[in-house]
A = this chain, B = another copy of it.
Amino acid sequence: MVRSKVAEPEPGGTRWLDDEERAAWLGVMAVILKLPAALDSQLTRSAQLTLFEYLLLARLSEQPERRLRMSTLATLTNGSLSRLSHVADRLEKRGLLYRERDPENGRYMMAILTPAGYELVVKAAPGHVQKVRELLIDALSPDQLRALQDAGAHVLAQLDSGSNWPP
């Protein structure tokens, strides 16, 4: 475990955050609260799509046949299976995708993008990518972006290490 400068163990054993750690933490929280809100708002206005819905449709659109198992989609979008099911309900009612059982294994459900769904992703993508550039990518130098990705990867590794423990 990495030790930092000032955070000394207390009688109770808690290592509080020093000023730098606290500032970093508050900055991360602020980004976590504001960045998705800004992207959500742009997508809702331009395509009546939440950010999560867009990411789901975008993932489908990248597949060879624009189809994916629900559980795979859940992993790729970092969402629960239950959430996926609810979102797929909404998108199916709007005619943007449909679901059918995997003929090779009936336990699996495939989500398939419709032409209308594909068209909507194609229509929404430019505005969305532009916002992502404006708020994130182009706001950082290439070095800063690499550093951000590196930090993100470490945090994700830590998040995943505890996810199935205890068994």
Contact = CB atoms under 8 A, between A and B. Distances in A.
A56 to B, nearest CB: 12
B15 A133 contact: yes
Nearest to A55: B29
A155 B31 contact: yes
Task: State the main secondary structure of chain A at its contact with B.
Answer: helix
B149 A24 contact: yes
A1 B126 contact: no
A144 to B, nearest CB: 5
Contacts of A134: 158, 162
Interface of A: 1-2, 4-5, 12-17, 20-21, 23-25, 27-36, 38, 55, 58, 61-62, 78-79, 121-122, 125-126, 129-130, 132-142, 144-159, 162
Q: Which of A29, A122, A150 has the most CB of B within 10 A?
A: A29
A7 B129 CA distance: 11
A2 B33 contact: no
A28 B148 contact: yes
B129 A140 contact: no
A4 B156 CA distance: 25
A154 B132 contact: no
